[in-house]
Amino acid sequence: MGGTPLLALSIAAFPEELPTELVGAVFAGADEQVRAAGAILAGGHTIRDTEPKYGLAVVGTVHPDGVWVKSGAQPGDAVFLTKPLGTGLVLAKKGDLSEAAHWMTRLNDRAAQALRPFSPHAVTDVTGFGLLGHAHETADRSGVRIRLRASALPALEGALEAARDGIRTGGDPRNRDFAGPHVQSDGVPDEILALAYDAQTAGGLLVTLPAEKALSLEAEFERVGLFLAGVGSVEEGAGVVLAP
């Protein structure tokens, strides 16, 4: 890229009655995060709408050797997550949002930097499809089976409590429709299933890499003070297994 920063464009929709100070705070916060990610907020497009919406479009290039794909998982890989799960559940519960806000505003850049020297086989972010949806995509495109340990899934404080209370988001049934036919989850408690299907906002990375690198990866993430959870393995076969 020759040192040229990426360009980001705002895509915003706000109601006219929204205070201009609040709109300004949204743009200022976006600019701060975009600069933290090494890009420049260069403009965008704003329209009137009854419901506030804000997003970003990023324009840039990457060297082919620097691309991580979700289709490279191999049997024998270990599987990791770089953020805990449950943002949808916690937001729907409308309790203390401080921990969820902390993770949603935390960029994945430092995790990616720590991960890059280990040459992972497959990487994808965990967002709207939930853990099981993105694990299904990775397994399907890689031609493997991903086995996840229900007891190892990291959860935000309050997420499992919300799930036990019967709270579900709109993304839950859609994610079950999408990934459910490819997921084996016999014996897994309902609250863990809800966590695994929960749509994430600004989720972490789902990573597979050779198992012999796992201990070194864990040590590096601990050294630089980053979250990392080993949640499963990759094996021959197809689909996703969420085991009790």
Shared-domain flag, residues 180 and 78: yes
Q: Is 54 part of any domain?
A: yes
What is the model's pTM?
A: 0.84
CATH number of residue 47's parent domain? 3.30.1330.10
Q: Is 206 part of any domain?
A: yes
| Residue that terminates a domain, selected from 40, 59, 78 | 59
According to the model, what pLDDT value does residue 1 have? 38
Alpha carbon 77 to chain centroid distance? 19
Q: Is 70 part of any domain?
A: yes
Shared-domain flag, residues 82 and 141: yes
Q: Is 1 part of any domain?
A: no
d(CA 120, CA 190): 31
Q: Is 12 part of any domain?
A: yes
According to the model, what pLDDT value does residue 5 have? 67
Give me the domain span that covers residue 35.
6-59
Shared-domain flag, residues 15 and 81: no
d(CA 224, CA 110): 9
Shared-domain flag, residues 77 and 182: yes
CATH number of residue 205's parent domain? 3.90.650.10
Per-residue pLDDT of the chain (244 residues; tens, 9 = 90+): 345 567 888 889 999 888 989 989 999 999 998 888 888 888 788 888 999 999 888 877 777 888 899 999 999 999 999 999 999 999 999 888 899 999 999 999 999 999 999 999 999 999 999 999 999 999 999 999 999 999 999 999 999 999 999 999 999 999 999 999 999 999 999 999 999 999 999 999 999 999 999 999 999 999 999 999 999 999 999 999 999 9
> How many domains are there within the chain?
2
Q: What letters, b where the CB count within 10 A reaches 16 and e where it falls short, cover 154-186? A: bbbebbbbbbeeebbbebbebbbebbbebbebe
Shared-domain flag, residues 123 and 224: yes
Tell me the pairing of strands 122-125 and 39-48. unpaired
Shared-domain flag, residues 40 and 77: no
Shared-domain flag, residues 83 and 166: yes
Q: Is 170 part of any domain?
A: yes
Shared-domain flag, residues 118 and 182: yes
Shared-domain flag, residues 86 and 146: yes
| Residue that terminates a domain, selected from 59, 77, 101 | 59
CA distances 124 to 69, 78, 127, Å, are: 7, 14, 9
d(CA 241, CA 244): 10
Q: Are 82 and 23 in contact (CB under 8 A)?
A: no
According to the model, what pLDDT value does residue 2 have? 44
For residue 126, give the nearest of 196, 66, 176 by alpha carbon. Answer: 196
| Residue that terminates a domain, selected from 26, 41, 59 | 59
Shared-domain flag, residues 84 and 162: yes
Shared-domain flag, residues 227 and 163: yes
Q: Is 13 part of any domain?
A: yes
Give the list of residues 6+ apart from residue 60 with CB closer than 8 angstroms, or none.
1, 6, 7, 39
Shared-domain flag, residues 38 and 98: no
Q: What letters, b where the CB count within 10 A reaches 16 and e where it falls short, cover 24-51? A: eeeeeebeebbeeeebebeebeeeeeee
17 class by beta-carbon count within 10 Å (0-12 exposed, 13-18 middle, 19+ buried): exposed
